[in-house]
Structure 1
Amino acid sequence: MDRISFGAFLSPLHPLGEDPALTLWRDLELAQWLDQLGYQELWVGEHHSAGWGTVSSPELFIATAAERTRHIQLGSGVVSLPYHHPFMVASRAVQLDHLTHGRFTLGVGAGSIPSDMHMLGIDPADTRRRTAESLEVIHQLLTGEKPVTRRTDWFELRDARLQLRPRSAAGLPMAVSSAVSPFGMRLAGQYGISPLSFGVPPRPGASIDDLAGQWRYAEESAAEHGRALDRADWRVALSVHVSESRAQALDELVDGWMRYRNEYWSLVGAPPVDSRAAARKTLEELIDRRATIIGSVDECVAALRDVQEATGGFGRLLVTVLDWTDRAALKRSFELLARFVAPRFNGALNGVAGSYAWVSEQARAQAAAR
């Protein structure tokens, strides 16, 4: 697969110390900037604890962002299904579908933060089962015509049906997240909905090659359930930073990356780094393993081609938004990506490059005829 479209994945995570209300406004400003640059998608996550992520309702954020943008598709990345009654998830999704004039994609998953589950009294061992039970009902509500009656140990529906139907006859687009286990990819295959993979698994020695195995799980599940998946609908989220060179890019973000590693990722078991030099070395290793894409335009193009080849091809790259550099460098990275990296993959240069080659050929022929 040669073509890739581009979007962004906004968890969002912001280091402690800044007014949390202002981070919401900055994230909304970023949504507008991405829309102006022509990014196809923006996904917004759900968090309830640990301080760094303060968007507790991606639907509310998306409703606000939809009023400030014109073209960009907006997705929940993701609604943690075990935390919500499935009827309410489906109802809110259809309402956003209409309010955004079809620019909303319902992204769902099992949730990943143990402290969120603890506060809600949910056993982490139950999250996958709950996700599967919830998604089954949501899919029936969004695609079926008959009322849904279902009773489990954590929700009940009696003759449930949605008053609003999806805006399009094709239905409301959906995606299911996948991290390390095959669970999310198998659900995507079971229902024939788009998988959203969160880059390289967070374990020592893992590389971008692990993503190829994730796609196989989805394909196998789809075949078992008589469905088909298209790699063009496969989204892969990776951290990306584009600058004038790899050295400059690392200078711009190494201190911020250390904060993420030592203050947030350490909460989920990542070992801390004890110096700037150690952080830079770790980042270099991540770049070489294609676990992150950092460097000049040409370096990022080469890295993305490596990721394409290693995975067998995917349709959409979602840039994980990280506050690991200052605001100007962050926005410039997205601009460089949109102006100079994305056109190498989305076909935008084909017309002008072809025209230039044709005119050059004509000019050479005319010069030779003189």
Structure 2
Amino acid sequence: MSNRMRFGAFIAPHTPVEEHPSVSIEHDMDRVVLMEKMGFAEAWIGEHHSSGWEINGCPELFIAAVSQRTSTIKLGTGVSSLPYHNPYTLADRIRQLDHITKGRTIFGMGPGSLPSDAYMMGIPTPKVRDRMDEAIDPLVRLLNGEVVTAQSEWFNLQEASLQLDSYDDHGVEIAVASQVSPAGATAAGKYGLSMLSIGATSAGGFNALARNWDIAVETAVEHGNTMDRNAWRLVGPVHIAETREKARENVRYGLERWIEYMSKVAAIPLAPPVGVDPIDYMIETGFGVIGTPDDFVAQMDRLNEQSGGFGCFLNLDNHWADWDQTKRSYELIGRFAIPKVNKLNQYRVRSEQWLRENHETFRGELTAAVKAKLDEHAAKKGTDKLNPAIREMFGSKD
């Protein structure tokens, strides 16, 4: 596994309904552009069709557009909801996206997180995970270049194959969403896929990290595959400022509204107990980082210890703070937290410390060298030609 952790964002998105939708989409584009400039490696874009907040209905469209404003950051579907799509047409779109992004596409897949989406498409909620399981096999085979014949109650593929080969020899990386249940981990191991642990910092998700990884590895062995910790992504929310006090002040802007949305609309139980400050709740439970770059680093250490090692952390992007402070948070992570996690400045620190320790020696050598030249000049031209201040500074002869 690489010694350097990668960083990115998981952009659902979570856009409050009072904001201008077009401006919000533009902000999400700008966010990805900024992330690339600040050294982030990945941005994942969600698929949702209801709730009012999560307004990106097609991650492929967003990724295709933002890929034209960026050049190095990898772009993942976070995630494509398999029960909503015919496997053949979805695979074909992912392959085309692979070419549009010049090999930067990651295909993340899952069952879909909003029951309301499935309801409006006439898909019974208990069926969505079964449909995901049924779709994975033909999708993996199609993206591997195979000719696929497969049938279920909701799709029928007859000698289906993709017209395009992958953009490069690496092909498209495929990742499967995993939360508390072992379903995602089992699928990752069965097909040799990367794993995307959404909600890794929630109590249930955090406690299940090591267990789900073990399940993925055991399943992979049974099917002749291997799992790579470097391809394992963990997801959790973050807001960083120069001080803890400022970070707390920043998130007063939208944290309570976000918790209310997640709990009452998205039906994800995040609400703190009655009478408990939501900021304290996020920090004390470990679900969210609200603090300084050092607090961010501490969260990475905590997750690394709990999981046994992973390759990439994705900020569950949110609207806890206003737009300017949100951008500042990404900037502080890029400038100060990422270098500390990955020890990017260890040689710079060593170089500075070495010069500090040898300051007197090098200062003495510099002074002696300059003094010698001043004396040489004085001997040739006479001391009256030298600035008295310079003679005094370097101890030159009168």
Alignment partner, residue 378 of structure 2: none
Alignment partner, residue 296 of structure 1: 292
Alignment partner, residue 337 of structure 1: 333
Displacement of 1:322: 0.4
Mapping for residues 235-246 of structure 1, pairs under 5 Å: 235-246=233-244
Alignment partner, residue 4 of structure 1: 5
Mapping for residues 36-75 of structure 1, pairs under 5 Å: 36-75=37-76
Equivalent position SS for 1:209 = helix
Query: Contact (CA 8 Å) 1:31, 1:42: kept in 2 or not?
Result: yes
Alignment partner, residue 233 of structure 1: 231
Alignment partner, residue 260 of structure 1: 258
Rounded to whole Å, the distance in 1 between the matches of 2:67 and 2:101 is: 6
Displacement of 1:221: 1.4
Displacement of 1:364: 7.3
2:324 counterpart of 1:323: no
Displacement of 1:195: 0.4
- With 125-134 and 114-123 compared, the bigger mean Cα shift is at 125-134
Mapping for residues 217-228 of structure 1, pairs under 5 Å: 217-228=215-226
Which 4+ stretches in 1 moved above 6 angstroms? 364-370
Alignment partner, residue 172 of structure 2: 172
2:124 counterpart of 1:128: no
Alignment partner, residue 312 of structure 1: 308
Mapping for residues 149-168 of structure 1, pairs under 5 Å: 149-168=149-168
CA change 1:172–1:140 in 2 (3 A) is same
Alignment partner, residue 270 of structure 1: 269
| Root mean square deviation, CA, Å | 2.3
Query: Contact (CA 8 Å) 1:52, 1:264: kept in 2 or not?
Result: no
Equivalent AA in structure 2 for residue 76 of structure 1: T
Rounded to whole Å, the distance in 1 between the matches of 2:138 and 2:38 is: 37
Displacement of 1:249: 1.0
Displacement of 1:213: 1.9
Alignment partner, residue 114 of structure 1: 115
Query: Contact (CA 8 Å) 2:46, 2:79: kept in 1 or not?
Result: yes
Higher-RCO chain (CA-CA 8 Å, sequence separation at least 6): 1
- The alignment covers a number of residue pairs equal to 364
Displacement of 1:210: 2.9
Rounded to whole Å, the distance in 2 between the matches of 1:67 and 1:340 is: 28
Alignment partner, residue 394 of structure 2: none
Rounded to whole Å, the distance in 2 between the matches of 1:361 and 1:272 is: 53
Rounded to whole Å, the distance in 2 between the matches of 1:176 and 1:160 is: 23
Displacement of 1:29: 1.3
- With 101-110 and 242-251 compared, the bigger mean Cα shift is at 242-251
Equivalent position SS for 1:68 = coil
Equivalent AA in structure 2 for residue 153 of structure 1: E
Deviations 1:311-342 (A, max 9, x none): 21111010111011111110000000000000
